[in-house]
Amino acid sequence: MENVASIGTLNVQALHAQDGRFRPVQDALAEEGALQILVDGASFSMTMRTPGQDTDLAIGLLHGEGELTSWDDVESAREAAGAGCPDAIEIVRKLASRRSVKPAERRLVSNASCGVCGKVSADDLAVPALRPEGVEARLDLALIPVLENRMRAAQALFQSTGGSHAAAIFDSEGDLLVIREDVGRHNAVDKAIGHLLRERALGKASILFISGRVSYEIVSKAAKANIPFLLAVSAPSTLAVELCREAGITLLAFCRGGKATVYSHPGRVHWDNAGGAGESEVVPASMAAGEAA
């Protein structure tokens, strides 16, 4: 017997094994299911995600794919009948906002860990450079443990299941704008960005903090949202580092316990009160001029 524990979770019967004994348990697990995304009446993508905030997910995904630039591009967003899929969202764009008569259909089903499924050429992987307002941003590294604690405290799904990723977006002062959780890292980011687009608040986004590792698709979404600082609890890939350097994004990984490793554009970070009252620690000029090896 299985039953829904709360949004995004499902209680599943299992056997706990320890010290040669078994006992029945009910574990709360993160849900995963298919969502079909339709754009202007045509199928665009089938993605595996944690149910909930599906409109935010669709809007964020379309923004990351270049099919939307703002919420003002959207005529309507509604639940729809999917083709062989119980859950579907249809986004209808305003005629003046359509870059093409029909958006490019993703050729593959995206699983919960795939942010590039359906890409067909190297040109599809291009990452835009930050706009000027993003390039001029600065980050006090003393904020990192504060941001980490704020994100962790808001991860209700992870606290229940231990099986979800989180994406938290903060403004330049470290105030939490939105946090979203999902079994997929890129889904959590899409949901967070999509929410801010719908609230017309994406312009306030300064810091994207994710609970997992950083790879291509996360950098791409941050760049297209013009978010200048990308923070992660875990490691980056080599391509993520390369693309952050090219796009102008300051990438910090292993952000936990008051520590971090800066992989790109270190000249935009500093420590306030690093050594006591009134003191500030800045990146040495020789390092700020280039990148970490």
Region 242-255 average pLDDT: 96
pLDDT digits (tens, 9 = 90+) for 89-115: 999 999 887 765 556 555 445 554 555
46 bridge partner residues: 36
Average per-residue pLDDT for the chain: 85
Query: Nearest Cα to 182, choosing from 32, 29, 47, 16?
Result: 32
Residue that has been written with the tokens 């980050």 in this structure: 139
Helix and strand numbers, DSSP H then E, in the chain: 8, 16
Percent of the chain with pLDDT over 70: 80
pLDDT band at 240 (very low <50, low <70, confident <90, very high): very high
pLDDT band at 81 (very low <50, low <70, confident <90, very high): confident
pLDDT at 171 over 70: yes
Q: Which tokens sit at 263?
A: 């992989």
Contact partners, residue 24, CB within 8 Å, separation at least 6: 13, 14, 15, 16
pLDDT digits (tens, 9 = 90+) for 121-152: 445 567 888 887 767 889 999 999 999 999 99
pLDDT at 117: 53
Burial class, 279, CB count within 10 angstroms (exposed 0-12 / middle 13-18 / buried 19+): exposed
Predicted TM-score (pTM) of this structure: 0.86
Tell which wins on pLDDT, 163 or 125: 163
Q: Are 240 and 262 in contact (CB under 8 A)?
A: no
pLDDT at 15: 95
Give the C-alpha separation, 71 to 50, whole Å. 23
Domains in the chain (CATH in brackets) are: 33-112 (3.10.20.10), 132-288 (3.40.140.10)
Residues tagged active-site:
114
Percent of the chain with pLDDT over 90: 70
pLDDT band at 293 (very low <50, low <70, confident <90, very high): very low
Burial class, 114, CB count within 10 angstroms (exposed 0-12 / middle 13-18 / buried 19+): middle
DSSP H helices in the chain? 54-64, 132-135, 144-153, 156-161, 185-198, 216-224, 238-247, 285-288
